[in-house]
């Protein structure tokens, strides 16, 4: 039983939003399916940290969820900035149950266990809190991250953090999110959101005691990354 991660699938089976128009994204859904099926078994777990579907509603996202559900393993998903279909946890869980998508699980103010580790996370937000509206969202996301981490700690697990937005990018830091991770002695953080030329400024490696890794689908060549 292994743990994998890959973010930013950007599926668009029910909307006209093909990612193939961007460099490096040709045949991306076929590549995701082929690589995922080869690497991930039915006993494994894979975290998808945001930007899962271009759909605007849960109903519209159904074909994309079906695509994910039919792939091997248990899937843990969290919100990205383009996941406009995202709703309350109760509505999403009810939708997944009604559609029979039992292999997909929502990460939102909670955690999931994997051996001695707790899978924790939230969407995050941009690294600029100069605007009052952005500062409010950022504070809320920091609180959600801490809620998730604390729930894992209370279960006696070592938290691993998954975010959609990068908590640091180049020389820019997001203190709201990083302070939560420092406070709880987080050792590993995986994030997405960054694409194309932005890859060159992504942080991959150790900073201040935390190992960071970019796991956007295009960055990892549309192949799930085995964490452990």
pLDDT digits (tens, 9 = 90+) for 118-158: 999 999 998 766 677 788 999 999 999 999 999 999 999 99
Higher pLDDT, 22 or 60: 60
pLDDT-based confidence at 108, cuts 50/70/90?
very high
Q: What is the pLDDT of residue 130?
A: 65
pTM: 0.96
pLDDT at 79 exceeding the cut of 90: yes
Domain borders along the chain are: 3-226
Q: Residue for token digits 């579907």?
A: 53
CB 40 within 8 A of CB 112: no
Strand ranges in the chain using DSSP code E only, listed in sequence order: 3-5, 45-49, 74-78, 104-106, 112-114, 117-122, 158-163, 168-169, 172-173, 188-191, 205-207, 210-214, 225-226
Cα 10 to chain center, whole Å? Answer: 12
Q: What is the pLDDT of residue 161?
A: 98
- Of 53, 71, 69, 50, nearest to 61 by C-alpha is 53
Q: What's the Rg (C-alpha) of the chain?
A: 16
- For the chain, the straight-line distance linking the first and the last C-alpha, in angstroms and rounded, comes to 9
Q: What percent of the chain has pLDDT over 70?
A: 98
What fold characterizes domain 3-226? Answer: Purple Acid Phosphatase; chain A, domain 2 (3.60.21)
Q: What is the pLDDT of residue 129?
A: 60
Pairwise CA distance, residues 180 & 114, whole Å: 21
What digits encode the pLDDT tens for the residues 163-213?
A: 999 999 988 889 999 999 999 999 999 999 999 999 999 999 999 999 999
């Amino acid at each position: 039983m292994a743990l994998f991660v890959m973010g930013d699938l950007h599926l668009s089976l029910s909307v006209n939003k093909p990612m193939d128009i961007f460099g490096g994204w040709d045949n991306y859904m076929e590549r995701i399916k082929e690589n995922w099926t080869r690497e991930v078994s039915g006993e494994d777990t894979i975290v998808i940290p945001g930007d899962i579907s271009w759909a605007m509603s849960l109903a519209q996202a159904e074909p994309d969820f079906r695509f994910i559900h039919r792939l091997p393993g248990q899937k843990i998903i969290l919100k990205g900035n383009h996941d406009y279909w995202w709703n309350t946890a109760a509505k999403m869980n009810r939708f997944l149950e009604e559609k029979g998508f039992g292999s997909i699980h929502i990460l939102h103010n909670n955690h999931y266990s994997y051996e001695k580790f707790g899978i924790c996370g939230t969407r995050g937000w941009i690294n600029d809190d100069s605007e009052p509206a952005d500062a409010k969202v950022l504070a809320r996301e920091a609180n959600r991250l801490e809620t998730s981490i604390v729930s894992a700690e209370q279960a006696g697990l070592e938290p691993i953090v998954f975010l959609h937005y990068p908590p640091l990018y180049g020389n820019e830091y997001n203190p709201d999110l990083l302070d939560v991770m420092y406070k709880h002695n987080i050792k590993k953080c995986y994030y997405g959101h960054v694409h194309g030329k932005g890859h060159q400024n992504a942080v991959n490696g150790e900073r201040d005691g935390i190992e960071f890794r970019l796991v956007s689908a295009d960055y990892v060549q549309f192949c799930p990354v085995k964490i452990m």
